[in-house]
Amino acid sequence: MVNECVVNAGHSTGDYVTINIGPSHPAMHGTLRVIAQTDGETVVKADPEIGYLHRGVEKLGEHLTYHQFIPITDRLNYCSAIANNVSYEMAVEKLMGLEVPEKAQLIRVIMTELARIADHQVLVGILGVDLGAFTPFFYLIIQREEIYEIFEWYNGARLTNTFGRIGGVEADLPDDFDARWRELRPNLFKAIDETDKLLTHNRIWMDRTIGVTAFSPEDALAWGFTGPCLRACGVKRDLRKDEPYGLYDRFTFDVPIGKNGDVFDRYMIRMKEMEESIKIIDQAYAMYQEMAPDAPLMAKVPKVIKPPVGEVYHATEAPNGELGFFIKSDGSDKPYRIKIRPPCYMVYQAFPELVKGEMIADLIACLSSLNVIAGELDR
Amino acid sequence: MNDWVIAIIKVVFIWVWTLLVAVVMTWVERRGAAMIQDRLGPNRAGPFGLFQPLADGIKLFTKEDIIPANANRILFILGPILFSLPAFSAYAVVPFGDKIVIAGKEIILQVSDVNVGFLYVVALGSMAVYGVIVGGWASNNKFSILGGLRSTAQLISYEVPWGLALLAAALVYGTFSLREISIAQQGTFLGFLPNWGIFRQPLGFLLFIVAAYAEANRVPFDLPEAESEIVAGYHTEYGSMRLGLYLFGEYVNLCTLSALMVTLYFGSWHLPYLNMEAFLGPISYGIASFLVFFLKVSFFLWLFVWVRWTVPRFRYDQVMGLGWKSLIPLALANLFVTALAIQLTV
């Protein structure tokens, strides 16, 4: 009611205006919904309501064979489908005790890191848009298109890649990967640099992000933060370094960490991680080039995958944080149970805590910087 | 009788001209944004997409006019009108050129040389806030009312430094008439600088331009319509040509503000170090002075676009903080120093 709004606009009256942000709102990524109690411009209480994109992914897994589930994992964090695919495949491989050929692992690393760059580009771009800076979004998204071109060239899909197979990858890198990567690489640096110039030291940007929704490392750990959001709080934890999987122990790269865990740090972590990812791709690609052209791409895998009875949990460092797959097998060709641990879910549960007492504009900035992807959150 | 005809011609001319500039501005905005963002922008309708505003206009006119069920009908209809009218009216006192002599009759290129031109502009500037708050309130939508409130607070806060900057300029020129100010900016200042307001009032200009961006609800002060926060702010519920009037009013506002900036701080129709009147015929001088003025206005219009696609948006409390803690003290200091300087030199 209009009259209510006006009467209650005063501060600390105890009567708050409920604002319904989402599920259809320009700032809501996907179908998130936040029911915010506001006191003027201040958010008193933010109540996230999840589940608008629930598709029963985990249940679906029980009715699909192990290979058929790979396309479903595309739809988790759709900004970086390849990272999900690889994470799931590795979990199944771990359950079966498969040894993936080195060349396939290198291709996985290259593709996953490209997906990570694409994911971070989207995040930084959207964060800019949500804070009113439109232009960096385009600088980044143009280069993301080029990354998608590589994906498309590799397996025909741009967004939902369905990359790889259990036990390896389906195909070698395309012939012109070298040319494409050599063209893309400087452009990626340029896009990151341009964004950096437009935003990082911009007074308005700094005012809008530094100190906004800061989080202490203890709190972050207690709430189950992982990935860039945790590293922004100053905790140096990256599964690629701490619990290396695949070939990640062979690469040298830094794990950037922040200090305050605010929006600015989350943004900076992503900016730096993009550059680290490029470093990893460089090393992986150099190793790849030394491999024999006819090196195997697939482990010896039976046509129908029937892992032994047992259960496994395998987590990888997805662009958003720890993406874990728990798989319980009863020895049949379909998993008995699949449980996914999406990084967003743990991060998003701290959202009401993060935005309490902040302003409406900060709520949007915070949500954007956490990179909550509805597909992954609701599953 | 003859004066009447001239006056009507001038009114129609400046009205059509402003309308045209506002229309073209929507195109410039989109193409400019595209240029800055490394994409194409609208390029389908006509050459370079120049007919895009026309297509947009037709679209807006033919759309269904929806008034929300719980909206206050009268105020809802009144909102866009209240917003766009003052923007047009303010242009009436801004000189758009020096003078043109046709058939021995001297015609000044200004609709009306009011001796309180300044106050008139400030008064009309304050009027625009009613369009926003009335529209936001009448929509009966929480996002609208938030946008309306943000806008009201912002416009009222920034009118103070804006007015104080104008006051300092008035002190320098000793007049409220915009035409007299324009004429006073001919020649050189300190022997080598063009005698423009910006060199006499550098801080004043800075304050004026910042406040102007806030008055126009433009980035970085576009929080009344911050898309990512409150959907579309005060015009969330508006559609069809009513929305068009809001958007249009904004561009007309930009024209007015740019024209004011040029008139006060950038020598109006004067070219630096060059007296056009001395070597141009009476008619060509009139046209040339108009073109020079318009060229300068175009630059500031482009600056609005340029800034919009470069910087992020402030937060509500930051806007208020900047206005009350920085701009107003600065404006007061500027006014004080200006007054002191005039007192000591005259």
> Which of A45, A21, A11 shows the shortest CA–CA distance to A353?
A45
- pLDDT for B93 beyond 70: yes
**Which residue in the set B231, B312, B318 is minimally distant from A25, CB to CB?**
B231
Find, in chain A, the residue whose alpha carbon is nearest to that of B139. Answer: A2
Average pLDDT over residues A160-185: 87
Please confirm whether the linkage preceding A23 is cis (ω < 30° from 0): yes
Cβ-Cβ contacts under 8 Å, A208 against chain B: 312-315, 318
B105 contacts chain A (CB < 8 A) = no
Average pLDDT over residues A247-257: 88
**Which residue in the set A2, A27, A41 is minimally distant from B316, CB to CB?**
A41
What integer pLDDT is reported at residue B227 of this predicted model?
A: 67
pLDDT in tens, B185-198: 877 777 777 778 78
- pLDDT for B51 beyond 70: yes
- pLDDT for A278 beyond 70: yes
What integer pLDDT is reported at residue A1 of this predicted model?
A: 37
B1 band by pLDDT with thresholds 50, 70 and 90:
low
Average pLDDT over residues B219-236: 76
pLDDT in tens, B157-176: 888 888 888 888 888 888 88
Distance CA A74, CA A81 (A): 5
Distance CA B183, CA B197 (A): 11
Q: Which residue has the tokens 């122990």?
A: A249
Find, in chain B, the residue whose alpha carbon is nearest to that of A37. Answer: B142
> Which of A344, A324, A132, A283 shows the shortest CA–CA distance to B318?
A132
Rounded to the nearest 10°, the torsion over CA B122, B20, B254, B304 is -160
Contacts of B346 (CB under 8 A, 6+ apart): none
Q: What percent of chain A has pLDDT over 90?
A: 7
Rounded to the nearest 10°, the torsion over CA A49, A54, A57, A63 is 130
Answer for the pair B314, B150: CB distance below 8 angstroms, yes or no.
no
DSSP class of residue A320 equals T
Query: What are the structure tokens assigned to A105, written together?
Result: 């692992």
Answer for the pair B294, B211: CB distance below 8 angstroms, yes or no.
no
pLDDT in tens, A77-101: 888 889 999 999 999 988 888 888 8
* ipTM over 0.90 threshold: no
Q: What percent of chain B has pLDDT over 90?
A: 1
What integer pLDDT is reported at residue A13 of this predicted model?
A: 58
Helix (H, G, I), strand (E, B) or coil at A26: coil
Average pLDDT over residues A21-41: 81
What integer pLDDT is reported at residue A4 of this predicted model?
A: 44
> Which of B86, B112, B119 shows the shortest CA–CA distance to B11?
B112
What integer pLDDT is reported at residue B338 of this predicted model?
A: 87
CB distance B312–A361 less than 8 Å? Answer: no
Q: How high is the mean pLDDT of chain B?
A: 83
What integer pLDDT is reported at residue B275 of this predicted model?
A: 74
- pLDDT for A372 beyond 50: yes
**Which residue in the set A19, A134, A364 is minimally distant from B37, CB to CB?**
A134
pLDDT in tens, A113-148: 999 999 999 889 888 888 888 888 898 898 888 899
Average pLDDT over residues A298-302: 84
* pTM of this prediction exceeds 0.90: no
Distance CA B344, CA B338 (A): 10
CB distance A207–B316 less than 8 Å? Answer: no
What integer pLDDT is reported at residue A6 of this predicted model?
A: 43
**Which residue in the set A6, A27, A207 is minimally distant from B228, CB to CB?**
A27
Please confirm whether the linkage preceding B220 is cis (ω < 30° from 0): yes
Average pLDDT over residues B99-120: 74
Q: Is A201 exposed, middle or buried (0-12, 13-18, 19+ CB in 10 A)?
A: exposed
SS3 annotation, A110-179:
HHHHHHHHHHHHHHHHHHHHHCCCCHHHHHHHHHHHHHHHHHHHHHCCCCCCCCCECCECCCCCCCCHHH
Q: CA angle, A264 as apex, A85 and A26 as ends, to 5°? A: 65
pLDDT in tens, B4-18: 887 888 888 888 888
What integer pLDDT is reported at residue B265 of this predicted model?
A: 86
What integer pLDDT is reported at residue A130 of this predicted model?
A: 87
What integer pLDDT is reported at residue A362 of this predicted model?
A: 87
What integer pLDDT is reported at residue A306 of this predicted model?
A: 85
Q: How distant, in Å, are the alpha carbons of A210, B180, B205, B270, B276 from that of B191?
A: 47, 21, 21, 16, 19
- pLDDT for B302 beyond 50: yes
CB distance A361–B310 less than 8 Å? Answer: no
The total number of residues shown for chain A amounts to 379
Listing DSSP states for B300-338 in one string gives HHHHHHHHHTTS-PPPHHHHHHIIIIIIHHHHHHHHHHH
Q: How high is the mean pLDDT of chain A?
A: 86
What integer pLDDT is reported at residue A117 of this predicted model?
A: 92
Distance CA A24, CA A22 (A): 4
Distance CA A213, CA A348 (A): 13
- pLDDT for B100 beyond 80: no
Answer for the pair B259, B117: CB distance below 8 angstroms, yes or no.
no
Cα end-to-end distance, chain A, whole Å: 36
Residue A338 zone, left/alpha/beta (φ > 0; ψ -120 to 50; rest): beta
Q: Which residue has the tokens 């719980």?
A: B70
What integer pLDDT is reported at residue A30 of this predicted model?
A: 75
What integer pLDDT is reported at residue A7 of this predicted model?
A: 42
Cβ-Cβ contacts under 8 Å, B309 against chain A: 134-135
Residue B48: count of CB within 10 angstroms of its CB:
12
